[in-house]
Amino acid sequence: MSDKLLRISSQIIVGSSEVKTHCSQALQVAKKNKYSEALEFLKKAKDSLAKTYEYQSELLSDFALGEKIEVDIFLVHAQDHLMSASQMIENTEEFIELYRKLSY
């Protein structure tokens, strides 16, 4: 694995973890009916996801320019984290809305 691929894979994992942390924080405050605070954490999660997708886009751009990308288990692991982080945002949005409806 190249140093660049290791760096990008690591950034994807770290960024995805930030997304998941912000989503968890959003859910915790939403359970306490603090919806504006929950939405702030959700925005942080979305911002982290956008930043993390930039790392993935760097790889895709390199590939499109003809660079050979060595796919290994660490990159697959990073992509798995990114996919689950993206899904967690969608689930968090739904749960916040559900908590809001149930609180009325």
Angle at 47 between CA 33 and CA 42, to 5 degrees: 10
What is the per-residue DSSP string for 45-83?
HHHHHHHHHHHHHHHHHHHHTT------HHHHHHHHHHH
C-alpha 60/C-alpha 62 separation (Å) is 5
Closest CA to 43 of 92, 98, 95, 6: 92
Q: Identify whether 77 is a catalytic site residue.
A: yes
User: From the candidates 32, 43, 77, 100, which is the catalytic residue?
Assistant: 77
Active site residues: 77
